Amino acid sequence: MSQTAASTSITSQLATVKITESDGEDRPVPPTETKADGAKVIDNGAVEQPEFTDPFCNADNPQIITFQDVTSAAFRIKKGIEYTPCPRSHLSETLDMDIYLKKEFLQFTGSFKERGARYALLMLSDEQKQIGVISASLGNHAQGLSYHGWKLGIPVTVVMPLKASLMKIQKCRDYHANVIVQGSDMGQAKKIALRMAHETGLTYINGYDHPHIMSGQGTIGLEIVEQVNSIDAVVIPVGGGGLIAGIATAIKNLSPQTKIIGVESEKCPSFTKALENGAPIYTPNKETLADGLAVPQVGYNAFATTVPLLDKMIVVKEEWIALAILRLVELEKCVVEGAGASGLAAILAGHMDEFKGKRVVLLVCGGNIDTTIFGRCLERGLAAEGRLQRFTVRVSDGPGGVSKLCNLLAELGVSIKDIMHDRAFIRDVHSVEVKVICETRDWHHTKEMRNLLQETYEDVYFYDMPMAI
Ligand SMILES: Cc1ncc(COP(=O)(O)O)c(C=O)c1O
């Protein structure tokens, strides 16, 4: 697929945004009556609402953005967006790779989504600006749109799925948006937003597939090439695909030898499934630490723009994302959400070993993580690395039996986080079963503790082999 051949100038089309009805071809029951709002009364009297499509996301006519689209966006948004740093990472030495972190979580609302949102808002006609916009989002696009809408005086409505992070929902309210929490996932929320756009005249802005959104995200690529010389690869987290589409467009134009690597969580591999299928396809998502990436179907425009520029797509396990969050806190002092840590997760998991000794830029694209989830991620990260251990041991129930165990751990420098005794369910009345959760310094320390416990006690059982070693 040639990028230039399929390119259309997107700017000229914006004034004609209209929401059109789909043909509803897969409806099982033929409608008997159509109401003025497009709803259909079917045989049993039930009212079936029509589905509305986004005119900018058409499977049969995907829009491929150009380098000029990205540079125009960069010029327009320059004044309202942070030029984020891209320093060399402390992780470089331990991972044997020259790693740079593009710190997009330092944008005011905590993610890169502001770039596309601001550009899309600036490109509206005066009438569209007055009436306002609507979008569906899991949170970061909603925040970017809400914040810049507020700053630019454009009314913003966001539909957020029920599973959206509470913190992200509250933030949108703080930025004066009209927030509607509805729909079980992004697919549902999008349908609701499209219907509302049709009913109210608000302009619908897709958070990953609108050409102006992709162009806005692409401005990150221009900055990266300015900030880092001779880049071998850029690793970009993928949700609906807008971020990778924009950045790939910028980077492959300025630095064609740089490899473009996408990364997804194993819980929402929508882009990988689209590649297998040859086109975007609905891929049910499971709960993931990378909630920003949980988009069940990638965008048609994003897919068409990215595929010719993509060198590799990685699917990473959740444990590595948890560990990456932990590493970024400990070594970089960066608080990052799962999506933002998934590039590092790909390296930790060994998916990027061909880039050992080479120069790699990671998109650290979001920092909006719920405090409770953050706590759980750190614990999961410690467990994945073998630093949080869980074991059961049978010790004497006589005086000093449990204290001997505690002293043994204390002498090794192991810290007990939780301890539980069980007497009722074991046969030997002179013994007690002790379940311990404890923290060690590292995997060597863990092994030392395991060996000592096995030498000292007859009956000791360790749970979960750490995976990240
Ligand atoms: C922090 C973060 N990273 C990456 C992405 C993926 O971006 P896209 O949906 O454009 O692929 C998102 C999307 O919301 C996000 O919030």
Instruction: Using the predicted structure, report yes or no on whether residue 255 has a pLDDT greater than 50.
Output: yes
Cα 261 to ligand 1 centroid, rounded to whole Å: 15
Q: Whose CA is nearest to atom 15 of ligand 1?
A: 292
Cα 467 to ligand 1 centroid, rounded to whole Å: 27
Q: Whose CA is nearest to atom 14 of ligand 1?
A: 292
Look at 373 and 82; give whichever has higher pLDDT: 82
Cα 417 to ligand 1 centroid, rounded to whole Å: 35
Look at 37 and 115; give whichever has higher pLDDT: 115
What was the pLDDT predicted at 428?
A: 82
Tell me the average pLDDT of the chain: 89
Q: Which residues of 389-401 are buried (b: 16+ CB within 10 A; e: fewer)?
A: bebebbbebeeee
Q: If pLDDT is split at 50, 70 and 90, which confidence band does 55 have? A: confident
Q: Which atom of ligand 1 is nearest to the CA of 246?
A: 10
Instruction: Using the predicted structure, report yes or no on whether residue 138 has a pLDDT greater than 90.
Output: no
Q: Whose CA is nearest to atom 13 of ligand 1?
A: 292
Cα 204 to ligand 1 centroid, rounded to whole Å: 18
Q: Is 237 left (phi over 0), alpha (psi -120 to 50) or beta?
A: beta
Tens of pLDDT, residues 271-324: 999 999 999 999 998 989 998 899 999 999 999 999 999 999 999 999 999 999
Question: Is there a contact between 449 and 414 (Cβ–Cβ < 8 Å)?
Answer: yes
Alpha-carbon 160 to chain mean position: 15
Share of the chain above pLDDT 70, in %: 88
Q: Which atom of ligand 1 is nearest to the CA of 105?
A: 1
Instruction: Using the predicted structure, report yes or no on whether residue 393 has a pLDDT greater than 60.
Output: yes
Q: Which residues line ligand 1 (CB under 6 A)?
A: 111, 113, 140-141, 208, 237-243, 292-293, 295, 337, 339-340, 365-366
What was the pLDDT predicted at 27?
A: 37
Task: List, in sequence order, the alpha helices (H) in 155-210.
Answer: 166-174, 186-200
Instruction: Using the predicted structure, report yes or no on whether residue 22 has a pLDDT greater than 50.
Output: no
Cα 57 to ligand 1 centroid, rounded to whole Å: 18
- Can you tell me the distance from the alpha carbon of 383 to that of 375, in angstroms, rounded to the nearest whole number? 13
Cα 182 to ligand 1 centroid, rounded to whole Å: 20
Q: Whose CA is nearest to atom 10 of ligand 1?
A: 242
Share of the chain above pLDDT 90, in %: 76
Cα 340 to ligand 1 centroid, rounded to whole Å: 8
Written as six digits, the tokens of 165 are 């992070």
Q: If pLDDT is split at 50, 70 and 90, which confidence band does 50 have? A: low
When pLDDT is averaged across residues 162-175 and rounded to a whole number, the result is 91
What was the pLDDT predicted at 424?
A: 81
Which of the residue ranges 1-5, 206-210, 226-230, 254-258 would you say has the lowest mean pLDDT? Answer: 1-5
When pLDDT is averaged across residues 340-356 and rounded to a whole number, the result is 98
Alpha-carbon 419 to chain mean position: 35
Instruction: Using the predicted structure, report yes or no on whether residue 43 has a pLDDT greater than 70.
Output: no
Q: Whose CA is nearest to atom 1 of ligand 1?
A: 366
Q: Whose CA is nearest to atom 12 of ligand 1?
A: 292
Q: Count CA within 13 A, CB hemisphere, residue 398.
A: 2
Q: Which atom of ligand 1 is nearest to the CA of 244?
A: 11
Mutate to test the pocket of ligand 1, among 65, 102, 107, 140 (most ligand atoms within 8 A of CB): 140
Mutate to test the pocket of ligand 1, among 114, 365, 369, 370 (most ligand atoms within 8 A of CB): 365
Alpha-carbon 19 to chain mean position: 28
What was the pLDDT predicted at 463?
A: 87
- Can you tell me the distance from the alpha carbon of 419 to that of 194, in angstroms, rounded to the nearest whole number? 53
